């Protein structure tokens, strides 16, 4: 047997936080040493942070990253580990990982497949390294190989796939297997999205099985740079099985898991594979860096994995959404140095969802870290006692504000009041009707005519939403807190939101989540809730309501779906039209097949309404506050879905739809 204790560490890094990033890396190295780990894999670009954006092109960033690497090296004595950093070479910048053996850099491997889809923009900053090419750089007083390398460390062969490399059909692991790799390290910055954990797990498991290796996958953790949330999903697989997996969505800054692998066992298993044709000759001397070191002798141990209950929940998507957004809010709060959150709590679904998420941030944080460490991780002068019970912490961190006009109902007022009390928020009530009337009179005097609902419906609705913004902004400013905007994805698709009204805020956490999902999630939260937390039955006063903006007089009986269309239909149209890029006629035919309960002409009108509103309201989506990315098909123009602000508005395509409807009505 050739046994090695290996580990992967998830780090909660911050772009360009040189001091903090270095501290967390050193702590991970110390933790690995305390566990007698011989080989440690750290995440992609862990020295700089992954989300540095155009700063990756700044020469000073490259120099500082190398300086930090030099400062970290003494802490790697007795370890084999890797560090991700940008490397400037031949008038280009590369996304690299360097392998360090016993405090010495032995080579840099450069990423070959750059992530350039969706939220990723790597080709803007980095160049892809060409397959099979190698170079060198003079660094730290020595010439170091750079490029497509494999490392032989005292007889154990180690290769790299860097994040996106492993997601491609022509992945480096294929060549590494031919070069007799024993271990593949995958330093990653793989963002969280619904359904991605299962895909990532299969990638790691199959990587270990198909290539006859032990596969070490280290991912980032937390809200690194503002929009993207990393679940810290770090994995170790050997012989086609997961032997260690980190806790996802942890509030800790460092999550490390380790396992004992048998190098000779993976070699023996792979020798049975008839399709294995090892590369016996060729450029092995060119691509292989040989390093003499010593691997410690250890005893075998059990590799049984303990199950995490919530990972097996039938409501996994609800669980993931809750934990992802809570962690995202927690990191955004502390990294922005804000002193809490303010939510304009209308008593409706969206603002209630945000308020509950802030409360659960506290509940989950206390559960994992305890009251003392939870308070210490936040802004020092926030005023949280290190012994504060959860309810006091929620009260200190969350201020909810109900703002009424003459069109507000007792139903929503009572719902907001009851929910705020249930979760422990600091709840305020403001009557902004006088402000609305003052604005109305001001404009009537300027125009020389009265404003009426028959003639000025949209303006009279919007002024109510806008009159609410200055007050909550002022409360946020006075308290040093972060104002959360309440807009959701369904509203963003059709512009059903008042700019500088309900879109007001510095962060829009649920702008990527559709209304139908939020309503289902609230019912689940009311009845069950996340594993380990109690449900919130008081949400019944929210879930029993028909969604309404309450901006028209009560006699108008305004509802969101009456203004737009049924939310389930709106969301289905949005995915077919925007995610799948289908034409209006194709969308209509798909909806007709899926929603037979809706009348033929009405369905056509709704499809046309969607496309017109979508094209007309791109400017609103461009102005939304930053949102969290939790779905790999959202509408955020800054991270996923680009569309022109000015366009032809689908006129030709909608004419085609109308002609079809006329022929078949």
Q: Please report, rounded to a whole number, the percentage of residues in the chain having pLDDT higher than 90.
A: 87
Average the pLDDT over each of 202-211, 388-397, 565-574, 583-592 and give the range with the smallest value: 388-397
DSSP state of 599: -
CATH number for the domain running over 3-295? 3.60.110.10
Sort 380 into a burial class: Cβ within 10 Å, 0-12 / 13-18 / 19+: exposed
- Picking from 102-106, 162-166, 383-387, 652-656, which range would have the lowest pLDDT averaged per residue? 383-387
Residue 1: which pLDDT band, with cuts at 50, 70 and 90?
confident
Residue 38 has pLDDT above 80, yes or no: yes
* Local structure of 323: helix, strand or coil: helix
Provide mean pLDDT across the span 301-310. Answer: 66
3-state SS class at 218? strand
Q: Given this model, what pLDDT does residue 405 score?
A: 93
pLDDT at 74: 97
Q: In this structure, are residues 163 and 189 in contact, taking their beta carbons and an 8 Å threshold?
A: yes
Q: Helix/strand/coil (H, E, C) string of 128-197? A: CCCCCCEEEEEECCEEEEEECCEEEECCEEEEECCHHHHHCCCCHHHHHHHCCCCEEEEECCCCCCCCHH
pLDDT at 242 exceeding the cut of 90: yes
Which residues are 153's β-sheet partners? 156, 291
pLDDT at 303 over 60: no
pLDDT, greater one: 435 or 309: 435
118 or 629, higher pLDDT: 629
pLDDT score at 380: 76
Tell me what the mean pLDDT of segment 293-316 comes to.
77
CA 332, CA 319: separation in Å to the nearest integer? 20
pLDDT surpasses 80 at 212: yes
Cβ atoms of residues 545 and 346 within 8 Å: no
- Find the range with the poorest average confidence among 158-167, 380-389, 458-467, 572-581: 380-389
Task: Tell me what pLDDT residue 268 has.
Answer: 87
- The model's pLDDT over 319-367, given as tens digits with 9 standing for 90+, comes to 999 999 999 999 999 999 999 999 999 999 999 999 999 999 999 999 9
pLDDT above 60: residue 305:
no
Report how many helices (DSSP H) and strands (DSSP E) the chain contains, helices first: 21, 21
Identify the CATH number of the domain defined by range 311-563: 3.40.50.620
CATH number of 565-665: 3.40.50.620
Burial of 563 (0-12, 13-18, 19+ CB in 10 A): middle
Contact indicator for 402, 411 with CB cutoff of 8 Å: no
Do 570 and 611 contact (CB within 8 A), yes or no? no
Q: Pairing state of beta strands 156-160 and 183-187? A: parallel
CA-CA distance, 403 to 471, in Å (whole number)?
9
Q: What is the β-pairing status of strands 104-110 and 92-101?
A: antiparallel
As to burial, measured by CB atoms within 10 angstroms (0-12 exposed, 13-18 middle, 19+ buried), residue 463 is buried
The pLDDT of residue 285 is above 70: no
Mean pLDDT of the chain: 94
In sequence order, which residues have a C-beta less than 8 Å from that of residue 232 and are 6 or more positions away? Answer: 10, 12, 219, 220, 221, 222, 246, 247, 248, 249, 250, 255
Give the CA diameter of the chain.
Answer: 92
Q: Which residue did the predictor score with more confidence, 649 or 283?
A: 649
Q: Is the pLDDT of residue 473 over 90?
A: yes
Q: With pLDDT > 70 as the criterion, what percentage of the chain qualifies?
A: 97
Q: How confident is the model at residue 274, as a pLDDT?
A: 52
Strand order in the sheet with 288-291: 241-245, 235-238, 214-218, 183-187, 156-160, 150-153, 288-291
pLDDT score for 284: 64
Q: Is the per-residue pLDDT at 280 higher than 60? A: no
Would you say residue 464 has pLDDT above 80?
yes
- pLDDT for res 302: 59
Token representation of residue 579: 């995610």
Task: List where CATH 3.60.110.10 sits in the chain.
Answer: 3-295
pLDDT of residue 70: 97
Per 3-state DSSP, the chain is made up of helix, strand and coil in percentages (nearest 5) of 45, 20, 35
Lowest-pLDDT range, 74-88, 224-238, 267-281?
267-281
Whole-number Å distance between alpha carbons of 538 and 547: 17
Of the candidates 187, 90, 80, the residue with the CA atom closest to the CA atom of residue 137: 90
Query: pLDDT value at position 91?
Result: 94
In the structure, what pLDDT confidence band is assigned to residue 304 with cuts at 50, 70 and 90?
low
CA distance 424 to 359: 8
Q: What DSSP character marks residue 347?
A: S
Residue 299 pLDDT > 80: no
Sheet holding 426-431, edge to edge: 426-431, 398-404, 341-344, 482-484
Mean pLDDT of the 556-560 span:
88
Mean pLDDT, range 388-413, rounded to an integer: 93
Residue written as tokens 């000025």? 456
Q: What is the value of pTM for the model shown?
A: 0.94
pLDDT of residue 307: 62
Residues 619 and 625: their CA atoms lie apart, in Å, by 13
Could you read off the pLDDT of 182-201 as tens digits, one per residue? 999 999 999 999 999 999 99
> What's the pLDDT at 507?
97
Whole-number Å distance between alpha carbons of 538 and 422: 7
SS3 510: coil
Average pLDDT over residues 592-605: 96
Where in the chain is CATH 3.40.50.620?
311-563, 565-665
Rounded to whole angstroms, the Cα distance separating 276 from 390 reads 57
Please tell me which residue, 638 or 583, carries the higher pLDDT value: 583
pLDDT tens by residue, 495-537: 999 999 989 999 999 999 999 999 999 999 999 999 999 999 9
> Mapped to the 3 state alphabet, what secondary structure does 421-472 carry?
HHHCCEEEEEECHHHHHHHHHHHHHHHCCCCCHHHHHHHHHHHHHHHHHHHH
Q: What is the pLDDT of residue 12?
A: 98
């Amino acid at each position: 047997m050739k046994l090695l204790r290996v580990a992967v560490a998830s780090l909660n890094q911050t772009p360009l936080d040189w001091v903090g990033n270095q501290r967390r890396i050193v702590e991970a190295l110390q933790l690995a040493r305390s566990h007698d780990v011989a080989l440690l894999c750290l995440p992609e670009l862990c020295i700089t942070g992954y989300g540095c954006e155009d700063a990756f092109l700044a020469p000073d960033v490259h120099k500082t990253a190398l300086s930090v690497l030099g400062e970290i090296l003494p802490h790697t004595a007795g370890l084999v580990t890797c560090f991700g950093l940008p490397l400037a070479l031949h008038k280009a910048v590369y996304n690299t990982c360097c392998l360090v053996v016993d405090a010495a850099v032995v080579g840099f491997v450069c990423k070959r497949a750059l992530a350039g889809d969706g939220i990723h923009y790597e080709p803007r900053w980095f160049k892809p390294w060409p397959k099979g090419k190698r170079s060198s750089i003079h660094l730290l007083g020595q010439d170091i190989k750079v490029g497509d390398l494999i490392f032989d460390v005292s007889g154990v062969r180690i290769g790299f796939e860097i994040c996106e490399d492993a997601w491609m059909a022509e992945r480096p692991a294929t060549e590494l297997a031919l070069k007799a790799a024993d271990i593949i390290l995958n330093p990653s910055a793989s963002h969280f999205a619904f359904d991605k954990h299962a895909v990532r797990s299969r990638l790691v498991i199959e990587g270990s099985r198909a290539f006859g290796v032990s596969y070490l996958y280290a991912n980032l953790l937390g809200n690194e740079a503002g929009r993207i949330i990393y679940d810290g999903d770090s994995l170790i697989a050997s012989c086609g099985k997961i032997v260690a997996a980190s806790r996802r969505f942890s509030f800790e800054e460092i999550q490390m898991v380790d396992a004992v692998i048998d190098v000779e066992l993976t070699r023996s298993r792979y020798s049975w594979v008839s399709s294995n044709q090892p590369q016996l000759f060729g450029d092995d001397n060119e691509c292989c860096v040989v390093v003499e070191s010593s691997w410690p002798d250890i005893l075998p141990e059990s590799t049984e994995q303990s199950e995490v209950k919530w990972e097996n929940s039938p409501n996994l998507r609800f669980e993931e959404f809750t934990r992802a957004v809570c962690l995202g809010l927690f990191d955004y709060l502390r990294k922005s140095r804000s002193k809490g959150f303010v939510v304009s709590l209308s008593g409706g679904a969206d603002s209630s969802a945000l308020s509950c998420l802030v409360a659960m941030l506290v509940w989950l944080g206390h559960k994992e870290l305890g009251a003392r460490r939870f308070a210490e991780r936040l802004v020092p002068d926030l005023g949280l006692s290190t012994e504060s019970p959860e309810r006091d912490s929620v009260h200190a961190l969350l201020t909810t504000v109900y703002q009424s006009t003459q069109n507000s109902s007792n139903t929503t007022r009572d719902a907001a009041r009851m929910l705020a009390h249930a979760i422990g928020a600091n709840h305020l009530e403001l009557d902004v009707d006088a402000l609305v009337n003052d604005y109305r009179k001001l404009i009537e005097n300027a125009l020389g005519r009265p404003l009426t609902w028959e003639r000025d419906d949209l303006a009279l609705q919007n002024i109510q939403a806008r009159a609410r913004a200055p007050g909550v902004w002022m409360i946020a400013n006075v308290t040093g807190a972060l104002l959360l905007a309440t807009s959701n994805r369904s509203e963003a698709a059709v512009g059903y939101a008042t700019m500088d009204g309900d879109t007001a805020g510095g962060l829009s956490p649920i702008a990527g989540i559709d209304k139908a999902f939020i309503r289902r999630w609230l019912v689940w939260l009311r009845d069950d809730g996340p594993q380990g937390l109690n449900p919130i039955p008081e949400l019944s006063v929210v879930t029993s309501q028909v969604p309404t903006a309450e901006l028209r007089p009560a006699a108008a009986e305004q509802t969101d779906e009456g203004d737009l269309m049924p939310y389930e239909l709106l969301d289905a149209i949005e995915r077919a039209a925007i995610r799948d890029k289908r034409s209006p006629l194709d969308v209509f035919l798909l909806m007709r097949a899926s929603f037979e309960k809706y009348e033929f002409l009405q369905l056509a009108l709704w499809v046309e309404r969607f496309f017109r509103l979508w094209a007309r309201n791109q400017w609103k989506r461009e102005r939304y506050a930053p949102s969290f990315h939790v779905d790999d098909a959202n509408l955020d123009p800054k991270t996923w879905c680009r569309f022109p602000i000015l366009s032809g508005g689908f006129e030709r395509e909608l004419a085609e739809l109308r002609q079809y409807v006329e022929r078949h009505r």
